[in-house]
């Protein structure tokens, strides 16, 4: 009897519903609002039922992230196929990556560990501003012959900050993924590369 398959299909449907409910909550209220009971409420079950499908909350999050990796890979693959020339392919792929990050920002946060929890203060306190001024001054000094606009200055500063913060983040989240020597190489190359772009 095909009922086994029908039941299998229902189970799979439940699994999907759980994941969809989770994403719905996260998109509406953010990661900190996601709870097993809220998910259960949406799919009209009780919380323990979810544990038939996911061993715990973290496993559920992993499943969501896995979906995200698939989506991202697909978008980048599509982007690549829209071009023939490798340089254009590369640019298109990273632009697709960029678009994905903002179109599915909650997923992106989960996948790559971008601060979901802590402190609403950065914006008010300025956070980075402490060092951004200091750095910008030095950048201005280096570029003084070119009389850079405030916008250009800001862009250069953020280019530095992005690459360094990005590399740090990647290292902190996936501990020791890159070797120490690779890190130093990338870091120095990047700093010198951008510095050179300031001068000429």
Contact set for DNA, span 45-104 (CB under 7 A) = 45-49, 51-52, 55-58
Nearest to 64 by CA among 96, 98, 39: 39
Given a contact cutoff of 8 angstroms between Cβ atoms, the answer to whether 85 and 43 are in contact is no
Beta-carbon count within 10 A of 34 CB: 21
Q: Which does 141 bind (CB under 5 to 8 A by kind): a second copy, DNA, none?
A: a second copy
Q: Which does 82 bind (CB under 5 to 8 A by kind): a second copy, DNA, none?
A: none
Q: Which is nearer to a second copy, 6 or 98 (CB)?
A: 98
Local structure of 113: helix, strand or coil: coil
Q: Shortest gap between Cβ of 62 and a second copy (angstroms)?
A: 5
- How far apart CA 184 and CA 84 sit, in angstroms, is 34
In the range 130-159, which residues lie near a second copy by CB under 8 A?
A: 130-131, 134-135, 138-139, 141-142, 151, 154-155, 158-159
Given a contact cutoff of 8 angstroms between Cβ atoms, the answer to whether 196 and 171 are in contact is no
Please tell me the count of residues contacting a second copy according to CB under 8 A: 89
What DSSP designation does 105 have?
H
Radius of gyration, alpha carbons of the chain? 22
Q: Which is nearer to DNA, 40 or 164 (CB)?
A: 40
> Is 117 among the residues that bind DNA (CB under 7 A)?
no
Which residues in this chain contact DNA in the complex, by CB under 7 A?
1, 3, 7, 11, 14, 33-38, 40, 44-49, 51-52, 55-58
């Amino acid at each position: 009897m095909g009922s086994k398959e029908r039941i299998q299909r229902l189970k799979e449907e439940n699994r999907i519903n759980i994941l969809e409910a989770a994403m719905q909550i996260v998109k509406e209220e953010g990661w900190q609002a996601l709870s097993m009971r809220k998910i259960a409420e949406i799919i009209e079950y009780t919380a323990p039922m979810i544990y038939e499908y996911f061993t715990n909350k973290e496993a559920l999050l992993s499943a969501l992230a896995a979906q995200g990796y698939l989506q991202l890979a697909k978008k980048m693959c599509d982007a690549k196929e829209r071009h023939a020339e490798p340089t254009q392919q590369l640019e298109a792929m990273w632009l697709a990556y960029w678009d994905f990050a903002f179109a599915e920002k909650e997923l992106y946060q989960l996948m790559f560990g971008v601060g979901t929890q802590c402190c609403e203060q950065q914006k008010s306190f300025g956070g980075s501003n402490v060092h951004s001024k200091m750095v910008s001054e030095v950048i201005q000094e280096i570029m003084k012959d070119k009389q850079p606009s405030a916008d250009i200055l800001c862009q250069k500063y953020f280019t530095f900050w992005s690459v360094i913060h990005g590399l740090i983040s990647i290292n902190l989240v996936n501990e020791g993924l890159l070797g120490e020597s690779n890190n130093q190489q990338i870091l120095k190359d990047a700093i010198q590369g951008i510095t050179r772009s300031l001068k000429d």
